[in-house]
Amino acid sequence: MAKCSAIKADNGRCKVEAMPGAEWCWNHHPDYEEARRRRASKGGKRGGRGRPLVELADVKRQLRELAEDVIAGRTDRGNAAVAGQLLGTFLRAASVELKVREQDEILQRLDALEHQKGGNRWPA
């Protein structure tokens, strides 16, 4: 299969295989410029892979401290109950965020596989 004919910013030639019936790979094909722009705009708006684990550890620590403070009588039970509900809501939101991120990664991998095989799941 032919290689992409695009020249990269470093003046080197792209080494990726061209799409079937085209002279460019998906990353350089002009017909997919808008799709690439839409995807790139999502970049940086999500945290890295480590962020959810740090946030989860922080929430667990807060819940543990809250429980200890209630047991020791240092925190009002009503305030602790509300704080626990809010932390639970945060955990649910973090869980949804992770699921969305996983689905997005799966869709990107599926796109790459389909483009490798010559298919096109995303219309231009």
pLDDT tens digits, one per residue of 13-49: 888 888 888 898 888 888 888 888 877 766 555 555 5
The confidence score (pLDDT) of residue 17 equals 87
Would you kindly state where each structural domain of the chain is located, as residue ranges?
Answer: 1-45, 48-116
User: What is the DSSP track for 71-99?
Assistant: HHTSS-HHHHHHHHHHHHHHHHHHHHHHH
The confidence score (pLDDT) of residue 48 equals 56
pTM over 0.85: no
Residue 84 — very low, low, confident or very high, per pLDDT cuts 50/70/90? Answer: very high
CA–centroid distance for 92 within its chain: 17
pLDDT tens digits, one per residue of 55-83: 888 889 999 999 999 999 999 999 999 99
pLDDT tens digits, one per residue of 111-122: 888 877 776 555
CA 61, 66, 69 angle in degrees (round to 5)? 125
The confidence score (pLDDT) of residue 49 equals 57
CA 15, 21, 22 angle in degrees (round to 5)? 50
CA 29, 31, 36 angle in degrees (round to 5)? 75
CA–centroid distance for 124 within its chain: 23
The rounded distance, in Å, linking the Cα atoms of 17 and 24 is 8
The confidence score (pLDDT) of residue 86 equals 93
The confidence score (pLDDT) of residue 87 equals 93
